Structure 1
Amino acid sequence: MASDRGHGITHRDDVRAAQLSGLLTRRRQTLGLTVEQAARATGLAEHRYSALEEGAGHGIDLGALKRVAGGLGLTGQPRETFLLLASEPDVTPYDLVERRRPSIEELAHIDLMEPNPALITDHAWNLLAANASVARLFTDPAKAPDGERNLVLWLLTERAERRFADIDDVRADAVARVRGALAQIPADAPLQALAGRIAADPLGARLWRSRSPRLPAEASARRLRHPSYGEASVLVTTSRLPGGLQLIVHHAAHLIQSPAPR
C-alpha cells in the first residue's frame, strides 16, 4: 500500500488521483484531442491541464474545474464524479449543484397534479412555484412579500396549525430537515439565513434546541384539515429535482373529490 505520512499522501489519495486521471484521459481520447487542444478547450495552461490529467487537481478552484468540465463536455454523473475527484476534500455534492429556477415542464407538471396541492422549493425551502390548490388550501404565495415565501417558516404560523392536526410532528420534521441540510453544507448562505430565522422564532428555537432524533421520510402520512371536506390522512411526498429543487405534493385528491359533509 502506497503511503507517505510525512507529506500527507495516503493510499486513498493515490486511488483518487488514478480515478481522476483515468476519467480525464478517456474523455480526451474519446474527443480525439491532444493534451494541448484539451488545455485550450478548458481554458487552462497546458502544464496545469497536464497535471490535472495526471491526477493532481488540488489548487484549481471549483469555478475553474466547472469550466474544465464544460470544455470537455462532461455532463450528469461523469461531471459530478470529475468535480468531486478534482476539487478540495471539503467540497460536497451539494456544492456542485447548478442552482436554477423551475422549468416550464416542471411548472406544467404541478398544474397537472390538481387537485393535489403541489409546490416546488429550492434547497432552502424557499417557495418558487405552486399550483392553485396550494393557494386555496394553505396560503397564496403570490400575496406574500419577497423573503416571506419559505415553507418551513410558514409551518410555524397559526394558519399552518389550523391546517394540520398533527402540526407538532410536521414542524419537528421540517426543522430536522433544515438541520440535516445545514450539517451537509454549513457554509450555505440561504440555509444559514433560514436557520437564523428559525432560531429567532420562539417556537422554532425550541424545536431547534430539542434536536429530537428524526430521520424524515421522503413520504409521510399527515392529518390534514380541509375547510370544506373535514379531516383526513393524506400522503405528503418530497422528490428531489435537478438543480437542488424539491417537489412537494400533498396527495389530497381522495379527500377533495369525496362528498362534502353535510
Structure 2
Amino acid sequence: MDSPAEPNEGDELSGESLPELLRSWRMRTDPRTISGLATSGRRGKGLTQRDVAHLTEVSERWYGSLERGTRAGYSADFLDRLSSVLRLSRAERHALYLRAVGRPPALAAVPEADAAAEADEVLQEFLDNQAPNPAFVADVAWNMIVYNQPLVDWFPWAAHQANQMRWAFLSPEAREQLVNWEHDWARPFLGQIRYERARHPGNEALRELERDILEGSPPAREMWDRREMVEHPDGDVRRLALPYHRGREVAVRIVALRPMRSDRLRVIVLMEDRRGGDST
C-alpha cells in the first residue's frame, strides 16, 4: 500500500476527503434494500465495512484500506462494483474515481456502470408497483441492476448470480424451469445477444457474455451457428415451471420496454397469463 491519497492540484473535486465520502455513502445505504444481506441484530444504520467488502467480493482489509484513503491499484471493475453497491449517482461515481485513483472513469468502456447509476429510486418504485408480477431492470449485457421482491421469490438466484443470460445457459436448473428451453428461451436469447453484439461491437461486457455462454454451453454453440437475430421479447408468451409454483407450469407474457432517458437500460415485467397457463 502507498500513502493516503491526496487530491491532485488538477482534480475536479474539492472538499470532502475519500474517507468522508465513503463513510457517508455507506451509512446512507439501507441494508434492507439489498437482497440476501442479513439485517437482524444490527445496532446502527447503513452498511458496515464488512457488508461492503462482502458485496464487492474483496477482503474487509482491502476495502478498509480504501476507506482510510490509501491509494493503491484499485481496478475499474472493483470501483464499479462499489458504485453499484453504494448506489452512487454518476457524479458520485466520478468523485469516487478521482479520489481513489486520481482520474475520472472511462464511461464508454463500462456502460453497465453508467446504467447502474441511471437505475434510480423512481425505477425501483416502478418495479415495486408491478407486484405481484416479477420485474427487473437490466443493462445491455443482461446484468440485473434493480428488481422487485416477486422477482427474487420466483428466481432466488437473482440475488446472487444476477445475470439473466448466464443463468439461462450455464445453470442446469434453467433447462428444467424454462419450459421448452431450446425453442422458446435459448434460441430467442441467443438471437438477442447476437443483435446487441451487432449494435454494441465494442462493449466488453457483451463480448465476455457471448464467450462465457459459448464456452460453457455446448447446445448454445450449436444454436449460435443459426445466426438468428431477435430484437426484443416484448409481448411473447412463454412458460415456466418454478419451485415457487411447486413445479406447476405457469405462462407469462413478457413486457419489455426502455426508459426514454436511457438507451442502456431495459425493463422486463413478467405478467402471469392465465389464458396461456394452467391456473389450477
TM-score range, shorter chain: 0.5 to 0.7
User: Aligned pair in 2 of structure 1 residues 253, 223: CA closer, same or farther (>3 Å)?
Assistant: closer
Number of the residue aligned with 2:214: 199
Number of the residue aligned with 1:179: 194
Number of the residue aligned with 1:162: 176
Please tell me whether the aligned partners of residues 176 and 214 of structure 1 are also in contact (alpha carbons under 8 angstroms).
Answer: yes
1:224 correspondence with 2:240? yes
Number of the residue aligned with 1:239: 257
CA displacement, residues 18-56 of structure 1 (integer Å, 9 cap, x when unaligned): xxxxxxxxxxxxxxxxxxxxxxxxxxxxxxxxxxxxxxx
AA of the residue aligned to 1:164: L
User: Aligned pair in 2 of structure 1 residues 214, 125: CA closer, same or farther (>3 Å)?
Assistant: closer
Number of the residue aligned with 1:107: 124
What is the CA–CA distance in structure 1 between the aligned matches of 2:232 and 2:138, rounded to whole Å? Answer: 17
1:134 correspondence with 2:148? no
The count of corresponding residues between Structure 1 and Structure 2 is: 159
User: Aligned pair in 2 of structure 1 residues 104, 254: CA closer, same or farther (>3 Å)?
Assistant: farther
Please tell me whether the aligned partners of residues 115 and 253 of structure 1 are also in contact (alpha carbons under 8 angstroms).
Answer: no
CA offset at residue 216 of structure 1? Answer: 4.4
What is the CA–CA distance in structure 2 between the aligned matches of 1:128 and 1:152, rounded to whole Å? Answer: 14
Q: Percent identity?
A: 22
AA of the residue aligned to 2:228: S
TM-score, with normalisation over the residues of structure 1? 0.54
TM-score, with normalisation over the residues of structure 2? 0.51
Number of the residue aligned with 2:59: none
CA offset at residue 213 of structure 1? Answer: 5.6
Matches within 5 A, 1:66-81: none
Instruction: Give the structure with higher Rg (CA).
Output: 1
Unaligned runs of 5+ in 2: 1-110
Please tell me whether the aligned partners of residues 192 and 229 of structure 2 are also in contact (alpha carbons under 8 angstroms).
Answer: no
Higher helix share: 1
1:249 correspondence with 2:263? no
Please tell me whether the aligned partners of residues 127 and 148 of structure 2 are also in contact (alpha carbons under 8 angstroms).
Answer: yes
Please tell me whether the aligned partners of residues 195 and 231 of structure 2 are also in contact (alpha carbons under 8 angstroms).
Answer: no
User: Aligned pair in 2 of structure 1 residues 185, 162: CA closer, same or farther (>3 Å)?
Assistant: same
1:209 correspondence with 2:222? no
Please tell me whether the aligned partners of residues 101 and 128 of structure 1 are also in contact (alpha carbons under 8 angstroms).
Answer: no
Matches within 5 A, 1:33-72: none
AA of the residue aligned to 1:150: N
Number of the residue aligned with 1:188: 203
CA offset at residue 199 of structure 1? Answer: 1.7
CA offset at residue 136 of structure 1? Answer: 1.6
The alignment's C-alpha RMSD in Å is: 2.6
CA offset at residue 254 of structure 1? Answer: 5.0
Please tell me whether the aligned partners of residues 138 and 163 of structure 1 are also in contact (alpha carbons under 8 angstroms).
Answer: no
User: Aligned pair in 2 of structure 1 residues 131, 219: CA closer, same or farther (>3 Å)?
Assistant: same
User: Aligned pair in 2 of structure 1 residues 167, 123: CA closer, same or farther (>3 Å)?
Assistant: same
1:149 correspondence with 2:165? no
AA of the residue aligned to 1:154: W
User: Aligned pair in 2 of structure 1 residues 229, 195: CA closer, same or farther (>3 Å)?
Assistant: closer
